[in-house]
Amino acid sequence: MKKSVQISIFILFFSAATQLVYLPTPVQAGWALEYGIPSIDKLRAIRGYSPESVFAMGDYGTMLFYNGIGWSALETVTDKTIYGIGFYCPCEIFASADKGRVLHFSGTAWTHEVLSDNRLRAIWAASGKDVFAAGEHGTMLHFDGISWKEMSVPTDKTLQAVWGFHGGDVYAAGGPSGTGGVGTGVMIHYDSTSWSIITDGAYPRFKAVWGSPSEKLYVVGDGGIILLYNPKDDSFSEFYSNNAEGLRDIWGTSDSNIFAVGDYGTILRYDGSQWSTMNAGTSENLFGVWVYSEDLAFAAGDSGTIVRYDSASPGDDNGTEICPFVLALNNRDDLRLLRRLRDQRLVTVKGLDIVKLFYEHAAEIAHIVQRHPDIRRALAACVLNNRQLIQDLLDDGRAGITQQKADEIVMLLERLQQEGSTQLQSALTFALNGIQTGRLLEQTGVFIK
């Protein structure tokens, strides 16, 4: 029993430690595919509040949540397509959907109500008591904290986006439903009293709008158009981006840190002087983007695709690597094998409190591996000697191991415990207790031959 328990810990260690640095598979320019996404449905919107609180939503009422460690599916309250997310704070979240649905999270549960016969394409919340939802046929609805009311707008075109600097300074943009075309974009403005036209027919159909802290508005749409609107002098200027693919969303943190996403995996970034094309690591259409900082952003799209931008190197502030396997292994094929183990097995393991413990202590384990060459060599040898075990787990869900190899793994774990802090030792003891009680042992499928 003890050997099997120790093997179980090591398999979880394989999975969780690689989670820290290799949760995304690295690609050029910092964008990486997120794995373990619990949906293959089209994701049409992504918004967040912090790196530990991100929502992605889309077709068939799909609702996904990222907690800083991994993605999970939320119980949905609708089967209609969700098009927009209005994120005011973690306890005040709104979403707009097909058939006039608006979803609301008030800190405890999601609810929804039907407000219109028209599809609601976008939603923006100035607060929990000041929310705008926009959609087809010029639909514009406003929530004052008590009830929703329809607003009169000077267009019957589909409003694809809505965004505001505050509740009395709101912009909406769009164009005809369908394929759009040349000269069909419309943008309107609300000044706390009424809506008025800013432009109509001069540009291609608009898909998204975002405003910077300097109170400038960035608009994207069909044909890769990117416009800058300055409300102070009511002027438009068009950017050159060397991109002709349709752009579907835009978000940023400042006038020098803006991302736009669109068709066929298109991702553009603006640094304050020019737009540059980035490698998204996918060719799927991307419908939404949310930017937390210059170093962190998420985008979502077709087939449950989520990509993450992380410009920070995979290490701590001093450049020290924080993944023990990266430190120990020279063979990239072995790292890929471990990522497969994580992606296929970690998502089925119950007891994410155990996984979180490994996640939290992986940096310390990496530090131990770096300081002790014998542990680094032992870790590399364990991976090398157990490739077949890992492959069997991937193929069959079960794997046998010899007593000799089991002893090697036990010795490695005991060596780690010797060098670890009291907190790490306690975490490993907690994990061991969890497995001994049967919560995780059956999930690993490892047995002594």
189 backbone dihedrals φ, ψ, rounded to 5°: -135, 140
Q: Which two tokens stand for residue 298?
A: 């998420």
pLDDT given for residue 260 in this prediction: 98
Q: Could you report the per-residue pLDDT of 342-378, keeping only the tens digit for each? A: 656 555 444 344 445 555 666 677 778 777 888 888 8
For 317-348, letters b (16+ CB in 10 Å) and e give eeeebbbbbbbbbeeeebbebbbbbbbbbbee
What's the mean pLDDT in 176-196?
Answer: 88
Domains of the chain: 2-21+315-448 (no CATH), 38-304 (2.130.10.10)
Q: Which two tokens stand for residue 23?
A: 């949760």
Q: Could you report the per-residue pLDDT of 102-111, keeping only the tens digit for each? A: 999 988 899 9
Count of CA atoms in the C-beta half-sphere (13 A) of 287 = 23
pLDDT given for residue 317 in this prediction: 38
* pTM for the model: 0.66
Q: Which two tokens stand for residue 31?
A: 């964008």
What's the mean pLDDT in 254-278?
Answer: 95
Cα gap 133→82, rounded to integer Å? 12
- Count CB neighbours of 279 within 10 A: 13
CB contact at 8 A, 121 and 161: yes
Cα gap 74→322, rounded to integer Å? 30
How much is the CA Rg of the chain, to the nearest whole Å? 25
User: Could you give the C-alpha distances from 353 to 110, 336, 358, 439, 449, in angstroms and in order?
Assistant: 25, 25, 9, 11, 30
Asked which of 58-62, 85-89, 300-304, 346-350 is least confident by mean pLDDT, the reply is 346-350
Q: Could you report the per-residue pLDDT of 404-429, keeping only the tens digit for each? A: 887 787 788 778 888 888 777 777 67
Q: Please provide the average confidence, as pLDDT, over all residues in the chain.
A: 83
* DSSP H helix total and E strand total for the chain: 9, 31
Cα gap 350→347, rounded to integer Å? 8
Question: Does the structure show a pLDDT above 50 at 316?
Answer: no
CB contact at 8 A, 209 and 250: yes
pLDDT given for residue 77 in this prediction: 94
